Amino acid sequence: MPLGDAVVSSGLATVIAIIAFSAPVAIWVLYSRRIASTGGLTAFVEAAAGTGVARVQAAIWAVSYALYLPFTVTDVVYDHLPVVFPGLTGWRTELELILPVAITVLVLLRVTVALVLLLISAVVQLGLLLALGVIELSNAAQPAHSLAPHVGASTLFDGGLGLSLLFVCASLPLFFGSEVRGGTRTIRVAIVAAFCLVSAYLLVVAIPFAQMPPELRSAAIPGMAIADAYSSHTLAVAIGLTTVISIVGIIVIEFLALGRLANYVLGVPIRTALAVIAVPFIAIDAISLINPEKIYEQLLRPSLIALFTAQAIVFLVYPLYRRRTDSQKWLVPTVVALLAAALMIYGLYHASFDPLAT
């Protein structure tokens, strides 16, 4: 769990996480004032530092998510689905083979189909997250207790910054900038609105979370365990299932983003790029059956290192972009960009030495 020992101050750690990640969000939004394309983050880097640096950033980012896709399927099949539906434990081999194929079929459909399904699942998840928050608040003796610092500053900030890094996938919608109606304005509004909405819902759940029994907080799917203990098994299963769906949804949007990046950098048609990406995706998942736990551990570290490196480049080159577009008002945005880069470097450090902590 990213919070670690800071879980006793889960509310305060979450506030720190939201504040910390507001820096990356701010820089994405500032880039998006003028840039909206299938290149996403790479288009930002190209505008700031040129094609050469952009291609390096694109390669690093692509490596990260090319590794992320297969090991996340393994995580879903072996660590999450059996918790929600214990009867599926004996079907894990089949699911490991079927799920990547099903995801590939989905991304090869019209993008609007995949995005509508993701939108519906997101709305349901937010509703269940609110229900979980209400359950926690109803069973927490002192919900606001977690807003106080009950651990040292180092532990508290480690927990908060670790939690903030979970927001990093919020950059994925940037790769759909050229396809949405309204272009740059729509992207900016969507990024800010989504960040604010998710942050608010997260606070509702996180503030009373510290008051939950340790065995529930440390469960494989904590929300499911809490709902099962204090509400109903039906609601618990619904929360567990939507947790699985949310992880699969991230795989889908990452897959789609990889196809768009290939189109931007290489000029390959998006559908062709997605079909090509599917080959190693399905193959690695099949190979992982030899030793699922080992493949997860082996792919996690390089994926996270590449992810945080690629994101750090985006923020480190922003001052160059700012000098080109608005040389009169560069100081504050530059400081914010450096703070965003520092957060990614923090993530890079922890990914290098303790990837499971992130």
Letter string b/e over residues 92-108, b meaning 16 or more CB atoms within 10 A of that residue's CB: beebbeebbeebbebbb
Integer Cα distance of 273 and 260 in angstroms: 8
Q: pLDDT digit string (tens) for 13-44?
A: 999 999 999 999 999 999 999 998 999 999 99
Q: pLDDT digit string (tens) for 77-136?
A: 999 999 999 999 999 999 999 999 999 999 998 888 888 888 899 899 999 999 999 999
Residue 357's pLDDT is what?
Answer: 45
Phi, psi of 337 (to 5 degrees): -65, -40
pLDDT at residue 356 above 50?
no
pTM of the model: 0.91
Q: pLDDT digit string (tens) for 212-232?
A: 999 999 999 999 999 999 999
pLDDT at residue 355 above 60?
no
Q: Mean pLDDT over residues 156-167, rounded?
A: 93
Residue 272's pLDDT is what?
Answer: 95
**Which residues lie below 8 Å from residue 274, measured CB to CB, with a gap of 6+?**
104, 107, 108, 255, 256, 258, 259
Integer Cα distance of 10 and 24 in angstroms: 22
**Structural domains present in the chain:** 4-357 (1.20.1740.10)
pLDDT at residue 247 above 80?
yes
pLDDT at residue 358 above 60?
no
Q: Mean pLDDT over residues 312-331, rounded?
A: 90
Integer Cα distance of 358 and 347 in angstroms: 7
Report percent pLDDT > 70 for the chain. Answer: 98
Q: pLDDT digit string (tens) for 51-70?
A: 999 999 999 999 999 999 99
**Which residues lie below 8 Å from residue 272, measured CB to CB, with a gap of 6+?**
none
Q: What is the DSSP string of 126-153?
A: HHHHHHHHHHHHHT-SSGGGGGS--S-H
Mean pLDDT estimate for the chain:
91
Residue 298's pLDDT is what?
Answer: 82
